[in-house]
Structure 1
Amino acid sequence: MKKEVVDFTKGEPIRLIIPFYIPLLLTSLLQQIYNFVDALIVGQGLGDDALAAVGNMGSIFFLIVGFSFGLANGFGVLVAHSFGAKDYAELRRRIASIVQLACVLAVVLTSLSLFFLKDILIFLRTDKVIIKDSLAYGYIVFAGLFSSISYNVCASILRALGDSKTPLKAIVVASILNLSLDSFFIFVLHMGVWSVAIATVISQIVSTFICFNRLRQISIIKLTKSDFQNEKHVYIDLIKNGVPMAFMNSITAIGCMVVQYFVNGYGVNYTSAYAACSKYLNLFMNPACTAGHAMSAFTSQNFGAKKYKRIKDGLKVCLSISFITYLTLGMAMVFAPRFLANILLDGNKSISLAAEFLPICGATIIAVDCLFVFRSGVQAMGNPMIPMWSGVLEMVLRISTIAYFMSRVGFRATAYAEVAAWTGALLINMVAFAVILSKNLSKSKAYDLDNISVEGNIVVSKEG
């Protein structure tokens, strides 16, 4: 019989985290590789301007989808708390409420994104050469936003229950389908950038169906009508935990949009180079980002079960993963920047600009690698406001750095902005993690002492 869920509250942490992490990493890497190959198909099939048009949508897409992703992860933390505490009635009520909130979210975000898309592109000083393609791509992707939100919610619930294999299967199928459709639309039918958006939406619908079908098979979360008839506090708890994490992503995205604003002001070469560099950053940060997701699932379950000592063990495993990825992928950016730039870009000017950016971020990417782990741990211990405020700091540092340095050092300022944002956020979350975990460990020790008495030479629990 297929194992339905994974309990992170029992067993050796490394033996639980690594088997969970690997499918999660493959899922995440596949998504990034898909984005990378997708950019390659667009760039080689339609040219640098088309790549710039799609890349120009990246920060806007992150603003909208990042909000829903953060909300879903916040919901997932509470799902994992209930599962870790073995309170399955509460678990079902929370999942039912998540379904209702996700439907409302999809309607609101779809409406807002479609209505304001053109204004945002104009505000970002999008070049006239690419704005038509950016709009064509954006309108289709945002019209299909429900599929993206549905996948994020389903995948988040599965991860909270310890299932990282189903999202992998979903992304394998969706990526193959997406890239096949991209190639068919562009190289066979000679369609434009808008066809890439259609392929994306179709693939997301398929991935959602796969994850949803898996959720239906898990016996402990079989929902009934009564599960949907919840009191206000259930919704409030979900919103209180999800909204700060959603705003954290959106605030970070706003900082990225401001960087995009400055970049676009220097022309299409800058926009193309920044789009390519962003693809590499997302790809090379991915293993550590995934370690953060593993940290979140492991910490959330153990926090719900009040097994705080295990959280420290989980931290060691996830930080080790981050350091290993830094020593490999970070160094590739340092020592082979022009080679990497040549893969995605054609123009000499764009390649030269990208070759300035990559070594700087490659040498310092360890900061964001560790940030993913510590921030996920803080969120998983029920403190979403701290990561949100660290997101505000990220935005401030990113904007102030790009504003000060862009006119002085040119394209390198985009790299300096990333490094400044990573470092500031890491310091806040690292300190917060240590303080929160220390407090809970102290409470746990005090509780243990209060419930133990000594009779003669025998230690007796007061709880029997």
Structure 2
Amino acid sequence: MTNDMTKGSPLRIFILFSIPLLIGNIFQQLYSMVDTIIVGRFVGVDALAAVGSTGSMFFLVNGMILGLTSGFSVLVSQKFGAKDEEGLKKSVASNIILTIISTIIITVVALVVKNPLLKLMNTPDNIFNDANIYITIIFAGIFTQTTYNMAAGILRAIGDSKTPLYFLIISSVINIVLDLVFIINFNMGVAGAAYATNIAQGISGILCLVYSYKKFKVLRLKREDFKVDKSYYTTHLKVGIPMGLQFSVTAVGVIIVQSAVNVFGSNIIASYTASSKVLQLVMQPLISFGVTMATYAGQNLGAKRFDRIRNGMSIMNKISIITSLIAGAILVFFGKYFVMIFIENPGDEIIRYAQDVLNYSAVFMIFLGFIFVYRNVLQGMGESFVPMMAGVYELVARSIVAFTLPKYIGFTGICLSDPIAWIAAAVPLMITYRNRINKIIDEDKEEGIAA
């Protein structure tokens, strides 16, 4: 069922749209979390470190995919908000073509650069082989990620956030079963975890495509729908490429931090991996709010309901702040218990370092929430440059901190790299949004007076 966000209570819309997104995001995290838990408990700390050491590389590629597909769906939401059915079909058709081309390019590049990246990241010799096996299989299955993200992005653009959730739940269960079978029964090690992830992700993508075609007549494309004016491709790329680069630039910063962490050895790599998984889990509500604001802003921009965008942002900011405080409290008081899920009988050193990462992140969680909300509302409004540059600011701040502070304050310097990067990215996004929304509303008022 589609969801028109141009009318009705913004708070009610946010709740109804965000909850399925949140549940879906949590289940999506299960792909990597289950891999990490089962590998850590049934293969060993070195294998966990191997999978964890590739996390930033996966984030680099997945971030590009997520950014591109999210960007390609912005025009879809705008056409839906404007009630332009023909434009909606053509925006979906051009979305599909660009996604196929992007998938081929990203897959080839990822497979070519994986080995040099592992070496550049100072991956320890004792885990290099496992890390290489795991990331090679994951990169070979990039098409499964793009298929799901493209299909889910289109469904969300027309207001359907529940269906992607249902298919993610199904594929998450499949992923868990395959992990257990491949790793425990077949002794496939890290390769089994990678194969399970690709198969499960592929199933969720196929289910989304089939459902979209059968459920929504507007998504049943014909040959003539693919005869698209180049302006559609240009609009997609103007939003999608900066969004993809923005995610990738952020991922480069994570790779830099991972390189600094790798110097400390397997135990600290394992503790950093576990704490990162916990952090990714508790930030899912904030990510869901961001995706909600992108769709909300896109539809209301198409409908020229600019005051509604500003009112919605005021409400969403309050929700984000409260959620960030709750997430921070969870990290501080329960973080170590989550870490124990990933590693069987972790030593005191691993627990201590992991908790340090979570404590520092908790203090600055509000800024992370601002990044997701402001970045996505700007992207939904068609603003792509500043969100991309915010990723650059995040990269620069994270890099400087990761390679300077550890020399003076040790591992605490690593712990501070993310929080300082969040502040560097959030501030310009907040300023840009305020200027952009005020300008749009003022211009609309002037046009109304002139008319």
TM-score bracket, shorter-length normalisation: over 0.9
Q: Which residue of 1 aligns with 2:357?
A: 357
Contact 2:93 2:221 in 1 (8 A): yes
**Residue 222 of structure 1: how far off its partner (Å):** 2.2
**Which letter maps to 1:284?**
V
Q: 1:12 deviation in Å?
A: 1.7
8 Å CA contact 1:166–1:210 kept in 2: the answer is: no
SS at match of 1:40: helix
Residue in 2 aligned with 1:97?
Answer: 94
Structural mapping, 1:238-277, within 5 Å: 238-277=236-275
Match of 1:147 in 2: 144
Q: Deviations over 1:51-98 (max 9, x none)?
A: 111111111011111101101111111111111111111111111111
1:415 partnered with 2:412? no
Matched-pair contact (CA < 8 Å) for 1:288–1:321: no
Q: Aligned residue for 1:344?
A: 342
Structure 1's 250 and 270: CA in aligned 2 closer, same or farther, altered over 3 A? same
Instruction: Answer yes or no: is 1:176 the counterpart of 2:173.
Output: yes
Tell me the CA shift for residue 173 of structure 1. Answer: 0.5
Superposed displacement of residue 33, structure 1: 4.0
CA drift at 1:48: 1.2
Q: Gaps spanning 5+ residues in structure 2: where?
A: none
* Aligned equivalent of 1:159: 156
Q: How does 1:272-421 map to 2 (within 5 A)?
A: 272-345=270-343, 346-421=346-421
Partner of 2:105: 108
Q: TM-score, normalised by structure 1?
A: 0.94
Structure 2 equivalent of residue 26 of structure 1: 23
The 5 A counterparts of 1:411-450 are 411-450=411-450
Aligned to 2:127: 130
Matched residue SS, 1:102: helix
Deviation at 1:411, TM superposition (A): 1.6
Aligned partner letter, 1:343: I
Q: Which residue pairs with 1:45 in the alignment?
A: 42
The question of whether the paired residues in 1 share the 8 Å contact of 2:278 and 2:339 is answered with no
Letter in 1 for 2:417: A
Q: CA deviation at 1:377?
A: 0.8
Q: 2:230 aligns with which of 229, 232, 237?
A: 232
Matches within 5 A, 1:76-95: 76-95=73-92
Following TM superposition, by how much is the alpha carbon of 1:290 offset from its aligned partner in structure 2, in angstroms?
0.7
The one-letter code of the counterpart of 2:38 is I
Residue identity in the other structure for 2:154: I
Partners of 1:234 and 1:293 in 2: CA distance: 22
Task: Give 1:193's aligned amino acid.
Answer: V
Q: What are the Cα deviations for residues 310-343 of structure 1, in whole angstroms up to 9, with x where unaligned?
A: 1122213322332232222211212344333333
Question: Would you say the 8 A contact 1:88–1:221 is kept in 2?
Answer: no
Quick one: distance in 1 between partners of 2:201 and 2:150? 12
- Say if 1:251 and 1:391, in contact at 8 Å, map to a contact too: yes
The whole-number CA distance in structure 2 between the counterparts of 1:297 and 1:91 is 14
SS at match of 2:299: helix
Q: Is the 8 A contact 2:278 2:335 kept in 1?
A: no
Cross-structure match for 1:455: none
For 2:73 and 2:184, how far apart are their aligned partners in 1?
40
CA distance in 2, matches of 1:355, 1:144: 33
**1:332-380 CA deviation, whole Å, 9 max, x = no partner?**
2123443333332323322221122111111111110121101111111
CA displacement, residues 199-258 of structure 1 (integer Å, 9 cap, x when unaligned): 011101110011111221211232111111222222111111100000000000001101
How many Å apart are 1:445 and its aligned residue?
A: 1.6
Aligned to 2:207: 210
SS at match of 2:383: coil
The CA distance in 1 between the partners of 2:125 and 2:272, in whole Å, is 18
Partners of 2:398 and 2:421 within 8 A in 1: yes
Percent identity among equivalent residues? 37
Q: Does the 8 Å CA contact 2:274/2:342 hold for their aligned counterparts?
A: yes
For residues 111-163 of structure 1, what are the alpha-carbon distances to aligned partners after superposition, in whole Å with 9 as ceiling and x for unaligned?
11112211110111101111111111111111111111111111111111100
Change (3 A) 1:306 1:282: same
Residue 340 of structure 1 aligns with an amino acid whose one-letter code is F
Secondary structure of 2:283's aligned partner: helix
8 Å CA contact 1:77, 1:380 repeated in 2? yes
State the distance in 1 between where 2:408 and 2:340 align.
Answer: 26
Q: Aligned letter for 1:154?
A: A
* CA–CA distance in structure 1, aligned partners of residues 171 and 335 of structure 2: 30
Partner letter of residue 410 of structure 1? G
**8 Å contact from structure 2 (residues 327, 365) kept in 1:** no
- Can you list the C-alpha shifts for 1:183-209, whole angstroms capped at 9, x where unaligned? 122222222110111101110111001
Residue pair 1:33, 1:283 contacting (<8 A) in 2 also: no
Partner of 1:266, secondary structure, is coil
Normalization by structure 2: what TM-score? 0.97
Q: Counterparts of 1:174 and 1:410 in 2: how far apart (Å)?
A: 41
Give the structure with higher Rg (CA).
1
Give the Å deviation of 1:277.
Answer: 1.5
Unaligned runs of 5+ in 1: 452-464
CA displacement at 1:302 relative to structure 2: 0.2
Count of matched residue pairs: 448
Q: Aligned-pair distance for 1:435?
A: 0.7
Taking the aligned partners of 1:96 and 1:327, their CA distance within structure 2 comes to: 41
Partners of 1:341 and 1:221 lie apart in 2 by: 43
* Aligned counterparts of 2:300 and 2:242: Cα–Cα separation in 1: 22
Distance 1:326 1:116 in 2: 36
